[in-house]
Structure 1
Amino acid sequence: MNDQLYAIVEPEKIDMLTKLIEAYDNLGIVSTLDRSLGLVIIRATEDTFADVEEILNNLPFPIHILSEDPRSKDI
């Protein structure tokens, strides 16, 4: 089962995303992978993953959830 996901948000929204996830009793941990692109990874547990997805789908700002780390692709 998945326990992490990658996403892109507007770079100025990364801090807000982090605070929102922390406010939900630390359901996950947000780490910035590339601030200029707004690329983040959100780590959760198997038990909290569905809740994290639900939160992300209802944020007050746009977020694009990725199926994998875009940095892993050959360019």
Structure 2
Amino acid sequence: MLDRDWVYFRINPHDMTYVTRILEGFEYVGVVTALDGKKGIGFVRTTPDTAPMAVDILGHLPFSVDILSFDEAMAGSNGDGQ
């Protein structure tokens, strides 16, 4: 089941592994999962304390990252939200 409070994002699909590796380096921030890898939609499983940090990290990457709401992520992916 997906959590509405996790951090959802869209990037170029080619950059998904890079995002995963960067966030792995910040071990306590969260775990990256591709929701729809072909569309570059993913999310970071965060806690309420680490979600702002995940958004900040994503915002400082050297390529375009769109932060999405839960509903935007579900609408743009093959995810069912369950």
Tell me which interval the TM-score lies in, with the shorter structure as reference length: 0.7 to 0.9
2:35 aligned partner:
33
Relative to its length, the structure with more helix (as a share) is 2
The Cα of 1:36 is off from its aligned counterpart by: 1.0
Unpaired stretches in structure 2, ≥5 consecutive residues: 77-82
Deviations 1:17-75 (A, max 9, x none): 000001012411110111110010111111211111111111111111111243358xx
Relative to its length, the structure with more strand (as a share) is 1
- Partner SS state of residue 39, structure 2: coil
1:4 aligned partner:
6
1:52 aligned partner:
54
What TM-score, normalized to structure 2? 0.76
- Check conservation: 2:7, 2:55, Cα contact below 8 A: no
The percentage of counterpart residues that share the same residue type is 32
Q: Which runs of at least 4 in structure 1 moved beyond 6 Å after TM superposition?
A: none
What TM-score, normalized to structure 1? 0.82
Unpaired stretches in structure 1, ≥5 consecutive residues: none
Count of aligned pairs between the two proteins = 72
